[in-house]
Chains A and B, each alone.
Chain A
């Protein structure tokens, strides 16, 4: 039952999150970002990733967390879901682990202030490490964004 998957682990604040490795295209150090006016606050702008223009969003901002300073550890994780390429700005990303899908449990109602619908589940790794698996389709859900937009107007 279940299978082994490879997961990219990154940090936002003190929490550790995971994204399946096959959804991640590349992890970049911080790049120059061009601001795009008139868009959602968590969209930092667009970057030039080897000739392709890709929007980047601040994942802290997306989850409504307090935004922090960018440091040497800050990374942009480029993910591709449903034909969309988006960069996530995260505090750090420096681990790839093998995870057995059996170890992923359904998410509790609220984890670190992030709505449960953004989560695929929570995996316990090692003795006291909790890995929060992101539901990328939901994080990049456009219908919610459209609602947000109409609220702002």
Chain B
């Protein structure tokens, strides 16, 4: 079967499961005796295994299977979670992750995991000998169907069966054994149920349908079945399902039914005594939906509602759908077309001055701005998708550095545009590493400083105006001005004179200077050749900023400010000769007009005075080779004062057109990166205007 069409779904879902596995393992590490978490983990692992096996990723399925074995012992309280088990399971998760990664990149998800498998097996074996031997034995000996697997019926089910026999239907007791080496026994069981339901009604099964679906059964199950079919024929049909070992079909009359039921009651009681701890807990904690579903079955045993168990997968149905990001991009493109037409219509309406037209256009404007909101929101993703990998990372990091660190995440539901989300992960990883490695002190130092031995890293996200802030704050050693300056001087980043004149904030910004690292020794965490300068560059390229607040001895806060979206920005449209350009409002400080005599020349560079300081005047017409505009010929020149951080510069332009919301578009793959131009937008008249990247003009 061609599985390619399911591949992307498989990848998405596997990632979801891996994520949930990671999260729950971390939870479990916090409270190792909470079996309900183990159940959740087990189910996730189990689904993953099933999916991998169906898709033919054998290695993935095999490794998950081994992990499942360990988890199975844990949830049956035959094995207590310990540190080394966590470590092994985490290693297994990592391996699974890299396999899924490989599949995502078009590989076959193969990996050498013999080491992990061996340790998992050792864990299983180690406990097997002492604790589980007897239990397992007891279960496999349930080969005699009438003795152990007899089913207890409630009164209603019993009378339904009894009535059916009286009405001349066949009531059968079916006992099915699945081969021991079967990989997907729940699937086989499903196939049997499916087959049975085509020509009759399953009244009750043991174990329950929910348990069978979740593979909570050994290798056999039994059920009561009402049909008109011939028992021998049915037996043959069930045997035709592959990997079915043995089938017993018994036809019951009223007398034997009564006997069976009595036997069921007796064995149920016996079983309850023997397996109380494990069996009791399982259905209760795993499937909250199981109880109501059973209730429905009892009330309408003969209606088609009895078919539901085999199909429902437990768990609440998701109220979301997955959408290909490319489709959203197309929607966005189409929508921006609409915006352009809207602007054009508004222009026309104001020219024509027709009342009815103006009203219609205004209405359309309102509708389209609502639509714009919705389209934008479709692209919003909670930062959760980035944050969720951090707890695991911080755990591993703290472990390898021998520190104790609590990561507290707040505001994970804060939403950001998908394009920003995709880019922000790496810088955040780096800042978090920095916080744990350089910020939080080793345990001994913390105790000496009178702090608790566990350090706290706060990772928070929140909205503020048109921006999202992400802050990484720790209660570590803080930043000492002298230390930074010492390193900066040593590395030649600043001179002695500069250093003396710097404000604390400027000193902190030195951390982002290329080639700067305050780490005295290189640990395996830092020193990977990537400095904070890369972080800053990335964030700046996203239109964001990083600010550092620090109190020596108390801790440090890296605050990252990000734009909500990268697709639509507010811009000032300007004209230079016959050409039009857009300048992002976020980089503009002010607009002004300067007279020719106010422009001075310093070292051959033009400067203008702006609020008491001299700032460079940049000639766009010269840089861009604009033929029909030259500010030197003007007596009064319009300027736009732009900033990059604290530094200012003025751009000489011909004429302001006005402020506008513009849709960012790329210039296509063919053109190389052009310095000073970050993209293009389409104007109301259909013309393309280039968007300036003012950051480039300030050195």
Contacts and interface: CB of A to CB of B under 8 A. Distances in A.
Q: Are A and B a genuine interacting pair, yes or no?
A: yes
A140 B670 CA distance: 8
B332 to A, nearest CB: 10
B518 to A, nearest CB: 38
A40 B172 CA distance: 83
Contacts of A25: none
Given A36-B674, A46-B680, A53 B666 contact: yes
B624 A38 contact: yes
B689 to A, nearest CB: 7
B682 A84 contact: no
A39 B665 contact: no
B566 to A, nearest CB: 16
B682 A32 contact: no
B668 A48 contact: no
B668 A39 contact: no
Q: Which of B336, B669, B674 counts the most A-chain CB atoms under 10 A from its CB?
A: B669
Nearest to B330: A51
Contacts of A84: 668-670
A123 to B, nearest CB: 27
Interface string A122-153: 00000000000000000010100110010000
Given A55-B668, A86-B670, A36 B677 contact: yes
B344 interface: no
Contacts of B211: none
Most chain A beta carbons < 10 A, residue from B334, B623, B667, B676: B667
Interface in B649-678: 665-672, 674-677
Interface in A73-132: 83-86
A47 interface: yes
B668 A86 contact: yes
A46 B337 contact: no
A124 to B, nearest CB: 32
B673 to A, nearest CB: 10
Given A48-B687, A51-B336, A53-B682, A35 B579 contact: yes
B688 interface: yes
A52 interface: yes
A98 to B, nearest CB: 30
Contacts of B672: 39, 142, 145-146, 149
From B626, B672, B675, residue with most partner A Cβ within 10 Å: B672
A52 B209 CA distance: 55
A118 to B, nearest CB: 16
Given A36-B677, A53-B680, A48 B688 contact: yes
B316 interface: no
Contact of B337 (A38, A51, A55, A149): A51
Interface in B670-699: 670-672, 674-677, 680, 682, 686-690
B333 interface: yes
A38 B674 contact: yes
B344 to A, nearest CB: 12
B625 interface: yes
A53 B624 contact: no
A7 B330 CA distance: 30
Interface string A15-41: 000000000000000001011111100
A54 interface: yes
Given A38-B676, A39-B674, A52 B667 contact: no
A32 B687 contact: yes
A70 to B, nearest CB: 17
A45 to B, nearest CB: 8
Contacts of A54: 668
Contact of A34 (B340, B625, B668, B689): B689
B669 A48 contact: no
B651 to A, nearest CB: 14
Contact of B680 (A34, A37, A85, A86): A34
Given A46-B688, A51-B682, A53-B665, A36 B671 contact: yes
A55 B667 contact: yes
Contacts of A38: 623-625, 674-677
Nearest to A46: B688
A43 interface: yes
Contacts of B623: 37-38
B668 A43 contact: no
Contacts of B680: 34, 46, 53
B667 A48 contact: no
Contacts of B669: 83-85
A145 B624 CA distance: 20
A52 B670 CA distance: 14
A34 B624 contact: no
A1 to B, nearest CB: 32
B334 A51 contact: yes
A48 B671 contact: no
A101 to B, nearest CB: 28
B688 to A, nearest CB: 4
B624 A39 contact: no
A28 to B, nearest CB: 13
B535 to A, nearest CB: 29
Nearest to B669: A84
Nearest to B335: A51
A50 B334 CA distance: 9
Contacts of A142: 670, 672
Interface string A52-64: 1111000000000
Contacts of B688: 34, 45-48, 53
A48 B670 CA distance: 15
Task: Point out which of B625, B671, B686, B690 has the most chain A C-beta atoms below 10 A from its C-beta.
Answer: B671
Given A51-B337, A53-B665, A53-B680, A34 B690 contact: yes
Q: List the 8 shortest-distance A-B pairs measured between CB atoms, nearest first.
A: A37-B624, A34-B688, A51-B337, A84-B669, A53-B680, A84-B670, A53-B665, A86-B670
Given A34-B579, A84-B670, A85-B669, 5 more contacts: A34-B680, A38-B623, A48-B687, A53-B665, A85-B670
29 contacts: A34-B687, A34-B688, A34-B689, A37-B624, A37-B625, A37-B626, A38-B625, A45-B688, A46-B667, A46-B668, A46-B688, A46-B690, A48-B686, A48-B687, A51-B334, A51-B336, A51-B682, A53-B668, A55-B667, A55-B670, A55-B671, A84-B668, A84-B669, A85-B669, A86-B670, A142-B670, A142-B672, A145-B672, A149-B672
